Amino acid sequence: MVLAQEGASASLACEKALYPMVKDDRSVPAQWVDPTSLTFGVGDAAKTVSPVDIGPIMANQDVWMIQSAQMNGVPWLGANTQHETFATETTGDVTLEVNSFTGPGDLVVAEGGALGQVFGTEWFRVEGGVGSGSHTIGANTHVHPNWIFSSPGEYQVGIKQTATLNDGNTVEGSTVLYFNVGGAGNADEGHFDLGPAIGCAGSSPAGEETSAASTNENSSGTSAGGSGSSGQGSAGNSSAQGAGGKSAGNAGSLAVTGFEPLNVVIAVFALGLAVMGAGVIYRSRREN
């Protein structure tokens, strides 16, 4: 139940704790940062109309949505279980749930749907200020759901993450995600992932990305278009819970996830049919 703190003596051991972090890909190398240092500006580029009913949100209702496909002018917020410390110190899975909420409207977080469906598996929702549901993300996974807000305004969404250490003990940590729906923040565009990290209690493992994502990672999400605006986010509200149950204190460009947009797939398929058709015509002319 102990972890040697990076940069310290090998004899120094500490209690392990889980820290919710955000991987900010707007710089190279990417930075793992405290989520409360960011305010996601979900502005006009994110405004659309819900095509179907989903939870408390009705079809044809105006919504502001961070989509599972990346869009210009919209922060692309996903989730992953790929922080080096999390991969080595836990069984790999993490469970997310809403544990606090402040905001003027409702929120639904759901995956993109399969062929013929707009939305897929719902992760969780907030309806009338009350959160419900939870979602487990597997080991070495990178995924982008849809974040659907019903009304403009400032939202504070508390997220709790729970995982199991290799020794069987459970660790959990909580943070708050800040959104300015219909307005600007300091994270208005670019690629971001909410993910857990393991560190010594009272010492958040923030900093540069230290391990590249595996080429055989489980990915979900599509790049469809994609630097942030100035703004001020609140800080210092992340907390971690160690295996012993003690509080651990406070804690640019388009990304590639391995999936191509649906229109690209269709275009490639159509091109293949055209080439096949040309071959058939050529052969027919030769035989005649």
| 3-state SS, one letter per residue, for the chain | CEECCCCCCCCCCEEEEEEEEEEECCCCCCEEECHHHCEEEECHHHEEECCCCECCECCCCEEEEECCEECCCCEEEEEECCCHHHHHHECCCEEEEEEEEECCCCEEEEEECCCCCCEEEEEEEEECCEEECEEEECCCEEECCEEEECCCEEEEEEEEEEEEECCCCEEEEEEEEEEEECCCCCECCEEEEEEEEEEECCCCCCEECCCCCCCCCEEECEECCCCCCCCCCCCCCCEEEECCCCEEEECCCCCCCCCCCHHHHHHHHHHHHHHHHHHHHHHHHHHC
DSSP-assigned beta bridge partners for residue 200? 16
In the chain, the percentage of residues whose pLDDT exceeds 70 is: 68
Length of the chain: 288
What's the token pair of residue 8? 């310290």
Tell which wins on pLDDT, 5 or 247.
5
Residue type, 212: A
Q: How confident is the model at residue 287 (pLDDT cuts 50, 70, 90)?
A: low
Q: How confident is the model at residue 189 (pLDDT cuts 50, 70, 90)?
A: very high
* Predicted TM-score of the model (pTM): 0.75
Per-residue pLDDT, averaged over 44-63, amounts to 97
pLDDT at 202 over 90: no
CA quadruple 63, 67, 70, 76: dihedral positive or negative? positive
Tell which wins on pLDDT, 288 or 175.
175
Mean pLDDT of the residues in the chain = 79
Taking the C-alpha atoms of residue 265 and residue 273, their distance in angstroms, rounded to an integer, is 13
Taking the C-alpha atoms of residue 11 and residue 3, their distance in angstroms, rounded to an integer, is 10
Lowest mean pLDDT among 26-35, 186-195, 208-217: 208-217
Q: What is the pLDDT of residue 41?
A: 99
What's the token pair of residue 167? 């020794």
Taking the C-alpha atoms of residue 108 and residue 150, their distance in angstroms, rounded to an integer, is 9
Domain ranges of the chain: 2-257, 260-288
Per-residue pLDDT, averaged over 170-181, amounts to 98
Residues 6 or more apart from 1 whose CB is under 8 A from it? 15, 16, 165, 167, 169, 243, 244
- Short-list 21, 159, 35, 165, CA closest to 101: 159
pLDDT at 228 over 80: no
Cis peptide before 29 (omega within 30 of 0): yes
Q: Are 193 and 79 spatial neighbours (Cβ–Cβ below 8 Å)?
A: yes
pLDDT in tens, 239-283: 665 554 434 433 333 443 333 343 333 343 344 444 444 443 444
- Short-list 159, 165, 243, 242, CA closest to 204: 242
Torsion angles phi and psi, residue 166, rounded to 5: -60, -25
pLDDT at 17 over 50: yes
Q: What is the pLDDT of residue 115?
A: 79
